């Protein structure tokens, strides 16, 4: 095969190799050209949807109702699939109820993820959240709301590029993971979770290849949120890992700088000391937010959210008093106060009261007390390097 390639000028012979996966030896790779079949573009996907809509009308009668915005979202979510797979998902969305609505989008996203099976490298987060479920973090909410349109709309009048990503640094239980899920839920895009525990492989070069495959899938799922939880554990440099962490970091940074698809990274971290400086310097992430323990008004809102979520009448509680008694508590610790009391009264079949909550608060030793030194160290390190996620209402 190598001789045929070298004698091409004199013989004019050409070899065409066709495969779903092509791995050529080094001797042939330099003498070959690699071509990938183009996937359907937006116009072709719209044609496929219209063909399926006409087929439904001919079979059932009537006209397929389509919300214009939902149609555009469907086209967007079908991108990255083959024509056959796109047709199958479009048919499923239409034939289910003879309409294209926003309720179809989530089903299409999940089906698309299953078609692009990644063996656990990327997890599809089926349950996202809304910003109404996040107490406080008003600076972060305002920042994200101002970036929503440039991320979702194909064009804007200022030519602004979609945001690249944010890093949420802060105390454990402060609501970083919930805020990450709220980005996807509020923006109406799928959320993928990158798991470094599955990513790493003992064989040389396999970890970097796994990361490239995972990032490629995120691009296919675009527009989407790529959630990297506890990123410091995956990118912390280790002198005993044969440079794998450095190569993984380089692969991630290169992708962040060169990608064009609408994939926003939302990374969370508990320890800034372990993060490589290349990742946290200005320009890599759009912004680095520090999530501190909630203020009084934020704890009031957190109590309101968790009590309402569990069907407890808000008028039966003095939320401001509960907020004063939980200074130093994180959002997750406040949630556990509510949940713990509900478990306790379940057997007695009595209603939850203010005194129940105050008793549970008195029994709880928050992390801010147990690990006060580490928390203060984290605050000191974040002071001049990050933007506070909390802010006035």
Do 260 and 152 lie in one domain? The reply is yes
Helices then strands, counting H and E runs in the chain, come out as 20, 9
Are 181 and 127 contacting, i.e. CB atoms less than 8 angstroms apart?
Answer: yes
pLDDT tens, per residue, the chain with 393 residues: 889 888 888 998 888 998 877 888 888 888 888 887 778 888 899 999 989 988 888 888 788 888 788 888 888 788 778 889 889 988 888 887 788 887 787 788 778 777 766 566 777 777 777 777 888 888 998 999 888 888 887 666 667 788 888 999 888 888 888 888 888 888 888 888 887 766 766 555 677 888 888 888 888 878 888 998 888 877 765 555 567 778 888 888 888 888 878 899 998 888 777 778 777 777 778 888 988 888 899 899 999 999 998 999 999 999 999 999 999 898 899 999 999 989 988 878 888 999 999 999 998 888 888 888 888 888 888 888 888 888 887
| Structure-token pair, residue 332 | 């997750």
Do 155 and 260 lie in one domain? The reply is yes
Do 286 and 146 lie in one domain? The reply is yes
**Buried b or exposed e, range 324-336, using 16+ CB within 10 angstroms:** eebeebbbbbbbb
Coil, helix or strand at residue 106: helix
Residue 249 lies in a domain: yes
Do 345 and 199 lie in one domain? The reply is no
Do 228 and 250 lie in one domain? The reply is yes
Do 143 and 212 lie in one domain? The reply is yes
- Residue 122: which of 235, 238, 220, 246 has the closest Cα? 220
Residue 387 lies in a domain: no
Handedness of CA 7, 12, 13, 17 (dihedral sign): positive
Q: At what angle do helices 296-309 and 331-346 cross, to 10 degrees?
A: 40
CATH number at residue 233: 3.40.50.300
Neighbour count for residue 55 (Cβ, 10 Å): 14
Residue 276 CA to residue 267 CA, distance in Å, equals 14
Handedness of CA 254, 255, 256, 260 (dihedral sign): positive
Residue 100 CA to residue 64 CA, distance in Å, equals 8
Residue 161 lies in a domain: yes
Counted domains in the chain: 4
- Residue 49: which of 97, 96, 100 has the closest Cα? 100
Residue 307 CA to residue 311 CA, distance in Å, equals 6
Coil, helix or strand at residue 61: coil
Do 323 and 263 lie in one domain? The reply is no
Do 254 and 346 lie in one domain? The reply is no
Do 161 and 281 lie in one domain? The reply is yes
Do 287 and 304 lie in one domain? The reply is no
Range of the domain at 98: 42-115
| Structure-token pair, residue 169 | 């640094």
Question: Which contiguous run of DSSP H or E holds residue 81?
Answer: none
Task: Specify the pairing of strand 287-291 against strand 165-170.
Answer: parallel
Do 208 and 306 lie in one domain? The reply is no
Q: Give the CA distances from residue 244 to residues 120, 233, 369, in Å, rounded to whole numbers and listed in that order.
A: 20, 13, 37
What global pTM score does this model have?
0.76
pLDDT on residue 369? 84
Coil, helix or strand at residue 366: coil
Residue 254 lies in a domain: yes
Are 248 and 211 contacting, i.e. CB atoms less than 8 angstroms apart?
Answer: yes
Residue 54 CA to residue 94 CA, distance in Å, equals 10
Residue 382 lies in a domain: no
Are 121 and 215 contacting, i.e. CB atoms less than 8 angstroms apart?
Answer: no
Coil, helix or strand at residue 266: strand
Residue 123 lies in a domain: no
Task: Specify the pairing of strand 263-269 against strand 122-124.
Answer: unpaired
pLDDT on residue 325? 93
Do 86 and 160 lie in one domain? The reply is no
Residue 72 lies in a domain: yes
Instruction: Look at the block and give the residue holding tokens 């971290």.
Output: 269
- Residue 189: which of 200, 180, 202, 198 has the closest Cα? 180
C-alpha 353 chain-centroid distance: 37
Residue 377 lies in a domain: no
| Cα–Cα–Cα angle for 47, 191, 241, rounded to 5 degrees | 125
């Amino acid at each position: 095969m190598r001789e045929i390639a070298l004698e091409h000028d004199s013989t004019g012979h050409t070899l065409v190799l066709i495969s779903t996966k092509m791995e050529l030896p080094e001797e042939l790779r330099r003498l070959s050209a690699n071509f990938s079949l183009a996937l359907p573009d937006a116009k072709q996907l719209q044609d496929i949807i219209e063909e399926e809509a006409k087929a439904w009308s001919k079979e059932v009668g009537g006209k397929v109702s389509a919300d214009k915005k939902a149609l555009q979202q469907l086209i967007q979510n079908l991108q990255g699939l083959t024509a056959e797979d796109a047709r199958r998902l479009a048919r499923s969305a239409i034939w289910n109820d003879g309409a294209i609505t926003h309720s179809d989008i989530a089903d299409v996203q999940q089906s698309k993820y299953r078609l692009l099976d990644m063996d656990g490298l990327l997890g599809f987060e089926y349950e996202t959240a809304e910003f109404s479920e996040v107490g406080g973090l008003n600076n972060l909410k305002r920042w994200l709301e101002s970036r929503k349109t440039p991320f979702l709309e194909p064009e804007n009048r200022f030519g602004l590029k979609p945001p690249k990503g944010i890093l949420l640094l802060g105390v454990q239980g402060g609501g970083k993971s919930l805020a990450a899920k709220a980005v996807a839920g509020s923006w109406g895009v799928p959320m993928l979770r990158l798991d470094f525990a599955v990513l790493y492989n003992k064989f040389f070069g396999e970890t970097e290849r796994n990361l490239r495959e995972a990032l490629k899938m995120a691009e296919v799922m675009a527009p989407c949120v790529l959630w990297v939880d506890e990123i410091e554990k995956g990118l912390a440099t280790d002198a005993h890992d044969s440079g794998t962490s450095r190569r993984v970091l380089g692969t991630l940074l290169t992708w962040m700088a060169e990608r064009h698809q609408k994939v926003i990274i939302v990374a969370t971290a508990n320890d800034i000391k372990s993060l490589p400086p290349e990742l946290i310097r200005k320009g890599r992430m759009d912004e680095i937010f520090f999530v501190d323990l909630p203020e009084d008004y934020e704890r009031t809102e957190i109590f309101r959210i968790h009590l309402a979520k569990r069907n407890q009448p808000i008028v039966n509680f003095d939320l401001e008093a509960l907020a004063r008694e939980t200074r130093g508590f994180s959002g997750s610790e406040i949630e556990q106060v509510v949940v713990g009391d509900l478990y306790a009264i379940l057997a007695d079949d009595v209603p939850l009261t203010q005194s129940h909550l105050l008793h549970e608060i008195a029994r709880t030793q928050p992390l801010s007390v147990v690990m006060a030194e580490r928390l203060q160290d984290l605050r000191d390190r974040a002071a001049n390097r990050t933007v506070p996620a909390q802010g006035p209402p």
